[in-house]
Amino acid sequence: MASTSDIRKGLCIRYNNDIYKIIEFLHVKPGKGPAFVRTKLKSVTNGKVLDNTFSAGHKIEDVRVETRSFQFLYAEGDTFHFMNTEDYDQMEFQRSLLEAADLLKEGEVVSVLFSAEDNMPLSIEMPASVVLEVSSSEPGVKGNTATNATKPAVLETGARINVPLFINEGDKVKVDTEKGTYIERVKE
């Protein structure tokens, strides 16, 4: 058992008969009244995010998790095949465990969270950003650059994002996997 003083980003806890990962927290000590911890929790089983406030000293049940690196091999429908980078064992995961499955390309390395108690996979964490090639995009119209104008583009994985007008087919772009948005063009 842990208390609210042990709360940190990335900690997995058991709350409301589910396992949640703390993605944000803030210790608040108001001038009047008791201190509390405001948290944003993300369910590792279904991906739902909820806000919760714990009073200071509240006991929380932490869950031991192990993180292992896996390399994405290929997808077969909603089944994704991965290989453990340490012992080369292959595992299959369902699409529901992946948050940004459409941004995953073959060879990409992801982190898989396993419960230390029963060795069950809890969630798959993508890298913060991925570099993908633009496979199709309409040409930008000259003169539309007074504002931050964007146009739709299809990436090599089939994902659709909005990119600036100067991005053309064949360009490589860095994409934020959490928001699914364009970050920058990558020069090689």
Tell me the DSSP string of 23-35. EEEEEE--SSS--
Tell me the whole-structure pTM to 2 decimals. Answer: 0.73
- Same domain membership, residue 86 and residue 48: no
If pLDDT is split at 50, 70 and 90, which confidence band does 141 have? low
User: Greater confidence, 160 or 144?
Assistant: 160
Print burial letters for 168-183: b (CB count within 10 Å at least 16), e (below 16).
eeebbbebbbeeeebe
**How many domains in the chain?**
3
Q: Which domain holds residue 138?
A: 129-186
CATH of the domain at 145: 2.40.50.140
If pLDDT is split at 50, 70 and 90, which confidence band does 164 have? confident
Which of the listed residues 98, 125, 152 is the one where a domain comes to its end?
A: 125
User: How far lies 108's CA from each of 10, 129, 139, 182, 185, in Å?
Assistant: 22, 11, 29, 18, 19
- Same domain membership, residue 181 and residue 133: yes
- Same domain membership, residue 84 and residue 45: no
- Same domain membership, residue 137 and residue 120: no
User: Greater confidence, 148 or 186?
Assistant: 186
Measured between alpha carbons, how far is 121 from 67 in angstroms, rounded to an integer?
10
Render pLDDT for 57-88 as a digit per residue (tens, 0 to 9).
888 888 888 889 999 999 898 899 999 999 98
State the pLDDT at residue 142. Answer: 64
Question: Which segment of 42-46, 90-94, 102-106, 107-111 scores lowest on mean pLDDT?
Answer: 42-46
Which of the listed residues 62, 79, 97 is the one where a domain comes to its end?
A: 62
State the pLDDT at residue 172. Answer: 92
State the pLDDT at residue 82. Answer: 93
Strand partners, 53: 38
CATH of the domain at 19: 2.30.30.30
- Same domain membership, residue 7 and residue 52: yes
Measured between alpha carbons, how far is 122 from 99 in angstroms, rounded to an integer?
12
Pair 42, 21: CB distance under 8 Å: yes
- Same domain membership, residue 84 and residue 39: no
Stretch 30-46: mean pLDDT? 86
Which of the listed residues 39, 62, 85 is the one where a domain comes to its end?
A: 62
State the pLDDT at residue 145. Answer: 59
Pair 129, 100: CB distance under 8 Å: no
- Same domain membership, residue 99 and residue 133: no
Measured between alpha carbons, how far is 106 from 71 in angstroms, rounded to an integer?
8
Does the pLDDT value for residue 144 go beyond 60?
no
- Same domain membership, residue 135 and residue 104: no
At 133, is the secondary structure helix, strand, or coil?
A: strand
State the pLDDT at residue 57. Answer: 84
